[in-house]
Amino acid sequence: MSGRNEARRDQADTAGDWQAERRRALTDARCVVVKVGSAVLTNGEGLDLAMVESLAGQLSAVQEGGRRVVLVSSGAVAAGRGVLRSCCEIAGMPHRQAASAIGQSRLMHHYDEAFARRGRISAQVLLTRDDLKSRNRFLNARNTFAALLDWGAIPVVNENDTVAVHDLKFGDNDCLASLLLNIVEADLFVNMTSAGGVFAENPQDNPDACVMDCIDDVHGLDLDGLCGGKTSVGTGGMYSKLLSARRAAQIGVPTLIVPGREPDVLARVFAGEAIGTWVRADARTVSRRKYWLAYQSDPAGTVTVDEGAARALLQGGKSLLPGGVCAVEGGFGSGALVRVAAQDGTVIGVGLSNYAAAELRRIMGHKRHEVAAILGDAHYPEVIHRDNLLLDAVV
Name the binding residues for ATP: 35, 235-241
Q: Which residues contact 91 (CB under 8 A, 6 or more apart)?
A: none
Q: Which residues contact 171 (CB under 8 A, 6 or more apart)?
A: 235, 240
Cβ contact 328:362 at 8 Å: no
Phi, then psi, of 144 in degrees rounded to 5? -65, -45
Cβ contact 333:283 at 8 Å: no
In the chain, the N- to C-terminal Cα span, in Å, equals 23
Cβ contact 134:33 at 8 Å: no
Long-range contacts of 24-27 (CB under 8 A, 24+ apart): 25/187, 25/188, 25/254, 26/188, 26/256, 26/269, 26/270, 26/272
3-state SS class at 395: coil
Q: Which residues contact 268 (CB under 8 A, 6 or more apart)?
A: 262, 275
Binding residues: 35, 74, 161, 173, 235-241
d(CA 81, CA 72): 20
Among 325, 386, 389, 381, which residue's Cα sits nearest to residue 357? 325
- Region class of 335: left (phi > 0), else alpha (psi between -120 and 50), else beta: left
Among 248, 266, 218, 302, which residue's Cα sits nearest to residue 57? 266
Binding residues for substrate: 74, 161, 173
d(CA 278, CA 368): 48
3-state SS class at 350: strand
Q: Are strands 255-259 and 277-279 parallel, antiparallel or unpaired?
A: antiparallel
d(CA 349, CA 368): 23
